[in-house]
Amino acid sequence: MPAPRTVLLTGAAGGMGTLMRELLPAYGYQLRLLDQLPIEGEPDAITADLSDRDALREAVRDVDAIIHLAGISLEAPFEKILRANIEGTYNLYEAAREAGVRRVVFASSNHAVGFTPRPAETPVPGASLIPLDTPRRPDTFYGLSKSFGEDLASLYWDKHGIETVAIRIGSCFPEPTTVRMLSIWMSPADGARLLHAALTAENVGYTMVYGSSANTRLWWDLSSARALGYEPRDDSEPYAAKLIAEQGELDPDNPDHAYLGGAFCTNPPIWPR
Ligand SMILES: NC(=O)c1ccc[n+]([C@@H]2O[C@H](COP(=O)([O-])OP(=O)(O)OC[C@H]3O[C@@H](n4cnc5c(N)ncnc54)[C@H](O)[C@@H]3O)[C@@H](O)[C@H]2O)c1
């Protein structure tokens, strides 16, 4: 596959979209931006909802690849998750299939496997990491929608030959802000490195990777990400002493600390109003 140049970035107005808009052009990409919200200073950005199939058809025309970040990024009533994350992702893959787009990078989440018990005390040399084949254990309707997106991507590879790298993102923010995030933090620079690897690796078929930096307190297996050529350079450890002094170590008896998904596992479900 020739290296992609023109890439549709959905969710470009969001937190991660804003970071990646700044970082990805240095890798040589021409980004086409899409979000339901207008983006200040980006008059060419496409303002469209993922339910607008005509707009999606237009947005994917002549792009080499898609980075799909758009969607609801926290727990929400099922109807809203259904529209934005489940139907919206389906609409985008359909547009990609019709237009012959060959590669998608899908922003999945740790919350697709949020009820996976977190590895015991970290850092422990040689502690067992959450494996790539850990069973799906969504912790919210949100996590369930990411689980759906992974399976949708797998289907579109097997049936239609559209390749996807699904990234179960940990926490991609400028800095980790909780003790849990020390284990799953992905620095923005490493996020851009991983997206670049996911866009350019050969023959990915359908591949799932965990998305984080090379954290000292890492909870999961980065081998499938590294196999794409991803070489993380950052580590959350410089933030550890301050966060632990403020918040304390994770407490195995606190249900909010017991699982990969953190407090998403204990939040009450949000029902439609
Ligand atoms: N940031 C993280 O640490 C993290 C962790 C795990 C997964 N993710 C996933 O990565 C993606 C980006 O995360 P983020 O933190 O930037 O989220 P965000 O909420 O800041 O941004 C999401 C963007 O999607 C747009 N959007 C939502 N619904 C839409 C719709 N129906 N049509 C068009 N646009 C829509 C929003 O306007 C927003 O700009 C999300 O899919 C999120 O679930 C992020």
Domain that holds residue 149: 6-265
What is the Å distance from ligand 1's center to 123 Cα?
A: 30
Shortest CA distance to 238 belongs to which of 170, 176, 172?
A: 176
- Classify residue 68: in a domain, yes or no: yes
User: Is 259 one of the annotated active-site residues of the chain?
Assistant: no
- Beta-bridge partners for 220: 130
**What is the distance between the alpha carbons of residues 226 and 228, in angstroms, rounded to a whole number?**
5
Asked whether 37 lines ligand 1 (CB < 6 A), one says yes
Quick one: which atom of ligand 1 is closest to the CA of 49?
32
Count of domains forming the chain: 1
Residue 273's pLDDT is 43
**What is the distance between the alpha carbons of residues 154 and 235, in angstroms, rounded to a whole number?**
31
- Classify residue 152: in a domain, yes or no: yes
**What is the distance between the alpha carbons of residues 74 and 76, in angstroms, rounded to a whole number?**
6
Contact 255, 264 (CB under 8 A): no
Contact 71, 84 (CB under 8 A): yes
For the entire predicted model, the pTM comes to: 0.97
**Run of H or E residues at 46:** strand 46-47
Asked whether 17 lines ligand 1 (CB < 6 A), one says yes
Contact 196, 231 (CB under 8 A): no
Asked whether 69 lines ligand 1 (CB < 6 A), one says yes
Residue whose Cα lies nearest atom 43 of ligand 1: it is 73
Residue 74's pLDDT is 96
Q: What is the mean pLDDT of the chain?
A: 95
**Choice between 98 and 125, residue whose per-residue pLDDT is larger:** 98
What is the Å distance from ligand 1's center to 161 Cα?
A: 26
Q: What is the pLDDT of residues 191-234, one digit of tens each?
A: 999 999 999 999 999 999 999 999 999 999 999 999 999 999 99
- Classify residue 94: in a domain, yes or no: yes
Other C-beta atoms lying within 10 Å of the C-beta of residue 23: 17
Q: Percent of the chain beyond pLDDT 90?
A: 90
pLDDT, average across residues 132-146: 97
- Classify residue 270: in a domain, yes or no: no
Residue whose Cα lies nearest atom 9 of ligand 1: it is 107
Residue 253's pLDDT is 86
**What is the distance between the alpha carbons of residues 88 and 192, in angstroms, rounded to a whole number?**
24
Please report, for the domain that includes residue 252, its CATH number: 3.40.50.720
What is the Å distance from ligand 1's center to 16 Cα?
A: 7
Pairing outcome for strands 103-109 and 46-47: unpaired
Q: Which long-range contacts (CB under 8 A, 24 or more apart) does 223-227 make?
A: 223/132, 224/132, 225/167, 225/194, 225/197, 227/201
Asked whether 194 lines ligand 1 (CB < 6 A), one says no
Residue 128's pLDDT is 86
Residue 252's pLDDT is 82
- Classify residue 218: in a domain, yes or no: yes
Asked whether 15 lines ligand 1 (CB < 6 A), one says yes
What is the Å distance from ligand 1's center to 101 Cα?
A: 22
- Classify residue 272: in a domain, yes or no: no
Q: What is the pLDDT of residues 71-108, one digit of tens each?
A: 999 999 999 999 999 999 999 999 999 999 999 999 99
| CA terminus-to-terminus distance, the chain | 47
- Phi first, then psi, for residue 93 (nearest 5°) are -65, -35
Quick one: which atom of ligand 1 is closest to the CA of 68?
41
